[in-house]
């Protein structure tokens, strides 16, 4: 973990060293001050991903070009690499390096997935609060050589445009980030009325006002998932949200045979938030775009991902055959009938209509709220349906004369908006309204 | 001779009438106790039903994760199940009070034994209930997991797991009730072992290639990529 105090620091190196009661050495050596010794910082940057020394040095360089003189604390949990990077030539003239092991706390209980990530995000917020920062940035995506300016792009709107939440808009290939593209982003757009492309980041810029709200909610016993609740909290509080074009984000290949745990992990906090914010989103009718900064990028190279549609459709058909007793607790008869019709189609003819998919997602969200069955079972039983939609989407895009992924996903988003009245009716009268 | 016969008849009649006279109050007490307990049971059941309905007990039970109880309840209403159970308990208590009114040694022993047996019955019912809930939960977990792994015999696995747990719970309940414990133990061992062996053989023989491939894939995956990272789907 590392804190680098950047150019523009009102205190000199000597002052800082005296304050820390550490003897200066000819060669810069990492020191370990506490947060109290550091005092304050204007911006806290949490690096939650592996970052090599060159990338970290470039990122620090990019941050130093922010317009106003800022004290910037960079938190990184890989001490060795971090120390090496900031002692490099790129930054040694302008940055002091301090190790602060207490700031980016590891989760108390070893947790994985979204829950573990959420705890780490909360620890960055806590560090920012401790250092009285005006904002904080979190970089969780794996960075390539071309992406160190991401931290700068996230930080800039926090200080120049007084944004409360800066969200990324990645240029991605057509088969990447599909859980976000097929459920999270269009559903949040329909619910909260703001067209946001990556509501769950995972790279964020957060203002002091917003991270204080997140920390206050945690103290108040209202357990928000920092990753899933950040955007809905900002939307419900009418805070200013800005999207920034980020360029291509590198994704490792997707393991489509292991989707159930991912679905349960990601959708659980999203549905919990949906329940928490129901009074707000039931009032929203239409969607509007949010302010976007930067130039849009195209994906850097050709999409090489291969989709095994046959296996996905077979998973859907198996699910339709074996999971009827569970789906019938969640879905209305009309949806079950349509699913049965779909399962009889050949792979070449297989198409899941967006309207049906949207109703399925909304019905699962409702069942999650009503706890019709165990929530983990519920979300895992959605896997064959999700794979069915992915197969249908893949076929839509691979056919000759197919529409672009953006247009295809826009059509899906409109279906989510059109289906919102269905959701509201089911949400308000789960027993009475059963089409 | 005739006098003796007459005397014996008179004695017998007297004994019969005496016993009848002793028995009739007890019978009347039993009938009264039953009637009173029935009325009390009806009133109590109505009160409990109303209270539970006003508390939306059925919906709340679902939200607490006991939705499966509804499937085992009359008219799919746990409220009715509870109110009727209370009514049945009150009527049973009334019956035992009525039986105890007979001033006989055996009725006293009978009631005493029944009361001594009640904790065992309750424990057995609890074991059966928990076993049933657990069986359904595990069966569903296995079904969903197997379907998500694309296993064609998902249903078979799920039913197997469910029945293993139910048989185990049933055997434990009978053990609590002290009903032929030796036979139950033996039968359970045979049945449980049989189910496990059947599952193992059927899965092992019918899909050894599939399992080999699956294990091979898992080993490869474990060496290269231990966990699916949720962030890549966002």
| DSSP annotation string for A209-248 | HHHHHHHHHHHTT----HHHHHHHHHHHTT--EEEEEEEE
pLDDT in tens, B174-190: 888 888 777 777 877 88
The answer to whether residues A321 and A343 touch, using CB atoms and an 8 Å cutoff, is: yes
Chain A residues close to B154, C-beta within 8 Å: 318, 322
β partners of residue A206 = A136, A165
What's the mean pLDDT in A123-130? 84
Average pLDDT, chain B: 81
Chain A residues whose CB is inside 8 A of the B232 CB are: 176-177, 251-252, 254
A262 touches chain B (CB under 8 A): yes
Indicate the burial class of B149 (C-beta count within 10 angstroms; 0-12, 13-18, 19 or more). middle
Please state whether A253 falls in left (phi above 0), alpha (psi between -120 and 50) or beta.
beta
Instruction: Give the separation between CA B223 and CA B217, rounded to whole angstroms.
Output: 10
A257 vs B: CB within 8 A: yes
Residue A363 pLDDT exceeds 90:
yes
What is d(CA A377, CA B67) in angstroms, rounded to the nearest whole number?
13
pLDDT at B215: 67
B71 touches chain A (CB under 8 A): no
Contact of B143 with chain A, judged by CB distance below 8 Å, is answered with yes
pLDDT, tens digit, 9 for 90 and up, residues A200-250 = 878 888 998 888 888 887 766 667 788 888 899 999 888 889 998 877 776
CA-to-CA distance for A230 and A196, rounded, in angstroms? 13
Tell whether omega for the bond before A202 is within 30 degrees of 0, i.e. cis: yes
| Interface contact B147-A198, CB threshold 8 A | no
Check CB contact under 8 Å for B144 and A323.
yes
What integer best gives the mean pLDDT of chain A? 77
- 10 Å Cβ neighbour count for A27? 6
Query: Tens digits of per-residue pLDDT, B95-130?
Result: 888 887 776 777 778 877 887 888 888 888 899 889
Nearest residue on chain A to B151, alpha-carbon basis: A318
* pLDDT at residue A149 is higher than 50: yes
At residue A49's C-alpha, the angle toward residues A262 and A232, to 5°, is 55
How many A×B Cβ pairs under 8 Å?
Answer: 94
User: Is the confidence at residue B36, as pLDDT, over 90?
Assistant: yes
A83 compared with A383, residue with greater pLDDT? A383
Q: Could you tell me if A13 lies within 8 Å of chain B, comparing CB atoms?
A: no
Cβ burial of B73 (10 Å; 0-12, 13-18, 19+) is middle
Question: Does A319 touch chain B if contact means CB atoms closer than 8 Å?
Answer: yes
* Overall size of chain A counted in residues: 435
Tell me what pLDDT residue A360 has: 94
Contact A266/B at CB under 8 A: yes
- Does residue A129 sit in helix, strand or coil? helix
Cβ contact B234–A201 (<8 Å): yes
Collapsed DSSP state (helix, strand, coil) of residue A92: coil
pLDDT over 70 at A88, yes or no: no
Q: Do B234 and A374 touch (CB under 8 A)?
A: no
- Alpha-carbon distance of A191 to A284, in angstroms, equals 7
* CA gap A418, A190 in Å, rounded: 8
Residue pair B41/B93 in contact by the 8 Å Cβ criterion: no
Radius of gyration in angstroms for the set of CA atoms belonging to chain B, rounded to a whole number: 29
> Rounded to the nearest 5 degrees, what angle is found at the Cα of A49, between the Cα atoms of A43 and A53?
80
Q: Are B95 and B30 in contact (CB under 8 A)?
A: yes
Rounded CA gap, B203 and B156, in Å?
A: 10
- Contact status of B67 with chain A (Cβ, < 8 Å): yes
Inform me whether the C-beta atom of residue A232 falls under 8 Å from chain B C-beta atoms: no
Of A178, A202, A257, the CB nearest to B231: A202
Contact check, Cβ <8 Å, B233/A178: yes
Which residue, among A138, A13, A22, A2, has the nearest Cα to A77 in the 3D structure?
A2
Asked if A34 has any chain B CB less than 8 Å from its own CB, the reply is: no
Asked whether the beta carbons of residue A259 and residue B232 sit closer than 8 angstroms, the reply is no
| Alpha carbons B228 and B208: distance in angstroms, whole number | 26
Cβ distance B230 to A314 less than 8 Å, yes or no, reads no
CA torsion A163→A165→A170→A175, rounded to 10°? Answer: -150
Per-residue model confidence as pLDDT tens digits over A260-280? 888 898 899 999 999 988 998
Q: How far off is chain A from B84, nearest CA to CA, in Å?
A: 24
Span B41-56, pLDDT tens digits: 999 999 999 998 888 8
> Residue A434: what pLDDT?
61
Q: Is some CB atom of chain A closer than 8 A to the CB atom of B228?
A: yes
**Residues of chain A with pLDDT > 70: what percent?**
74
Question: With an 8 Å Cβ cutoff, are A255 and B234 in contact?
Answer: no
The whole-angstrom separation of Cα A322 and Cα B142 is 12
Residues of B in contact with A203 (CB under 8 A): none
Among residues B154, B152, B45, which one has the least CA distance to residue B91? B45
pLDDT per residue as tens digits for the range A47-82 = 877 777 777 777 777 777 766 667 777 777 654 444
**Closest CA relative to residue A139, chosen from A242, A50, A234:** A50
Cα dihedral B190/B194/B195/B198 (nearest 10): 180
Q: What is the pLDDT of residue A1?
A: 38
| A37, pLDDT greater than 80 | no
Query: Is A18:A53 a contact under the CB 8 Å cutoff?
Result: no
SS (H, E, C) chain B: CHHHHHHHHHHHHHHHHHHHHHHHHHHHHHHHHHHHHHHHHHHHHHHHHHHHHHCCHHHHHHHCCCCHHHHCCHHHCHHHHHHHHHHHHHHHHHHHHHHHCCCCHHHHHHHHHHHHHHHHHHHHHHHHHHHHHHHHHHHHHHHHHHHHCCCCCHHHHHHHHHHHHHHHHHHHHHHHCCCCHHHHHHHHHHHHHHHHHHHHHHHHHHCHHHHHHHHHHHHHHHHHCCCCCHHHHC
User: In angstroms, what separates the C-alpha of A197 from chain B's closest C-alpha?
Assistant: 10
Alpha helices in A79-199 (DSSP H): 79-86, 113-130, 150-160, 178-179, 185-192
DSSP code of A31? B
**Mean pLDDT, rounded, for A360-384:** 91
C-alpha gyration radius of chain A: 23
Going edge to edge, which strands form the sheet with A241-248? A72-76, A43-47, A135-139, A204-207, A165-171, A241-248, A291-293
Q: Which of residues 123-162 of A touch B (CB under 8 A)?
A: 140-141
Mutate which of B71, B162, B231 to test chain A, going by most A C-beta atoms within 10 A?
B231
Element (H, E) at A97: strand A96-98
- Letter string b/e over residues B114-125, b meaning 16 or more CB atoms within 10 A of that residue's CB: eeeeeeeeeebe
> With an 8 Å Cβ cutoff, are A370 and B229 in contact?
no
Task: Collect all residues of chain B within an 8 Å Cβ-Cβ radius of residue A315.
Answer: 147-148, 150
Assess: ipTM above 0.90: no
Q: Rounded to an integer, what distance in angstroms lies between the CA atom of residue B76 and that of residue B91? A: 23
Instruction: Inspect the interface and report whether the beta carbons of A112 and B227 lie closer than 8 Å.
Output: yes
- Chain B residues with CB under 8 Å of A432 CB are none
Continuous segment of H or E residues that includes residue A343: helix A333-343
Residues pairing with A292 in the sheet: A243
What distances in angstroms separate CA A378 from CA A326, B49, B234, one per listed residue? 8, 30, 20
The per-residue pLDDT for range A302-355, each reduced to its tens digit, is 555 667 888 889 999 999 999 998 898 889 899 999 999 999 988 888 889 999
A179: contact with B, CB 8 A cutoff: yes
Cβ-based neighbour number of residue B80 at 10 Å: 17
């Amino acid at each position: 973990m590392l804190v680098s105090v950047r150019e523009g620091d009102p205190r000199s190196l000597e002052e800082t060293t005296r304050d820390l009661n550490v003897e200066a050495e000819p060669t810069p050596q990492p020191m370990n001050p506490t947060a109290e010794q550091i005092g304050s910082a204007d911006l806290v940057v949490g690096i939650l991903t592996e970052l090599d020394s060159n990338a970290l040095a470039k990122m620090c360089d990019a941050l130093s070009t922010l317009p106003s003189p800022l004290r910037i604390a960079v938190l990184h949990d890989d001490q060795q690499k971090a120390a090496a990077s900031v002692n490099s030539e790129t930054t040694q003239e302008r940055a002091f390096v301090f190790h602060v092991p207490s700031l980016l706390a590891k989760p108390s209980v070893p947790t994985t997935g979204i829950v573990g990530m959420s705890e780490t995000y909360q620890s960055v917020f806590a560090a920012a609060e401790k250092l009285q920062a005006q904002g904080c940035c979190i970089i969780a995506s794996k960075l390539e050589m071309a992406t160190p300016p991401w931290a700068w792009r996230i930080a800039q709107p926090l200080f120049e445009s007084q944004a409360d939440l800066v969200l990324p808009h990645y240029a991605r290939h057509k088969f990447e980030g599909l859980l976000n593209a097929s459920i999270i982003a269009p559903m949040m757009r329909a619910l909260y009325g703001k067209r946001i492309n990556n509501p769950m980041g995972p790279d964020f810029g957060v203002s002091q006002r917003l991270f204080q709200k997140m920390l206050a909610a945690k103290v108040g016993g209202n357990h928000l998932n920092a990753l899933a609740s950040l955007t809905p909290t900002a939307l419900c509080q009418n805070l200013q949200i800005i999207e920034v074009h980020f360029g291509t984000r590198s994704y490792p290949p997707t393991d489509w045979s292991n989707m159930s745990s991912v679905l349960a992990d990601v959708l659980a906090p999203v549905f919990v938030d949906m329940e928490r914010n129901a009074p707000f989103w039931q009032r929203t009718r239409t969607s509007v775009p949010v302010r976007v900064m930067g130039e849009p990028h195209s994906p850097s190279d050709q999409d090489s991902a291969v989709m095994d549609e046959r296996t996905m459709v077979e998973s859907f058909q198996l699910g339709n055959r074996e999971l009827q007793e569970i789906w019938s607790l969640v879905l209305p008869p009309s949806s079950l009938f349509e699913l049965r019709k779909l399962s009889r189609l050949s792979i070449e003819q297989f198409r899941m209509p967006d309207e049906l998919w949207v109703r399925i997602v909304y019905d699962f969200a409702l069942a999650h709220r009503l706890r019709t069955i165990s929530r983990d079972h519920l979300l895992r039983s959605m896997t064959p349906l999700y794979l069915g939609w992915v197969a249908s989407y893949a076929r839509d895009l691979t056919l000759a004369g197919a529409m672009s992924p953006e247009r295809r996903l826009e059509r899906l988003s409109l279906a989510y908006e059109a289906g919102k009245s269905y959701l509201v009716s089911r949400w308000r009268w789960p027993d009475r309204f059963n089409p | 001779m005739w006098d003796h016969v007459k005397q014996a008849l008179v004695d017998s009649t007297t004994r019969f009438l005496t016993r009848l006279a002793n028995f009739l109050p007890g019978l009347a007490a039993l009938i009264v106790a039953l009637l009173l307990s029935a009325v009390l049971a009806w009133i109590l059941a109505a009160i409990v039903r109303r209270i539970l309905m006003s508390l939306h007990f059925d919906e709340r039970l679902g939200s607490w994760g006991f939705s499966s109880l509804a499937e085992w309840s009359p008219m799919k209403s746990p409220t009715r199940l509870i109110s009727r159970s209370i009514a049945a308990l009150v009527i049973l208590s009334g019956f035992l009070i009525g039986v105890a009114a007979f001033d006989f040694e055996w009725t006293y022993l009978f009631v005493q034994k029944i009361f001594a047996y009640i904790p065992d019955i309750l424990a057995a019912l609890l074991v059966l209930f928990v076993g049933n809930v657990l069986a359904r939960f595990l069966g569903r977990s296995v079904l969903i997991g197997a379907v998500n792994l694309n296993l064609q015999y998902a249903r078979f696995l799920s039913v197997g797991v469910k029945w293993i747990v139910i048989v185990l719970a049933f055997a434990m309940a009978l053990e609590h009730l002290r009903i032929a414990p030796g036979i139950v133990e033996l039968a359970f061992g045979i049945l449980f072992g049989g189910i496990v062996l059947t599952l193992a053989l059927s899965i092992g023989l019918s899909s050894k290639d599939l399992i080999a491939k699956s294990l091979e894939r898992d080993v490869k995956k474990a060496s290269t990529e231990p966990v699916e990272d949720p962030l890549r789907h966002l």
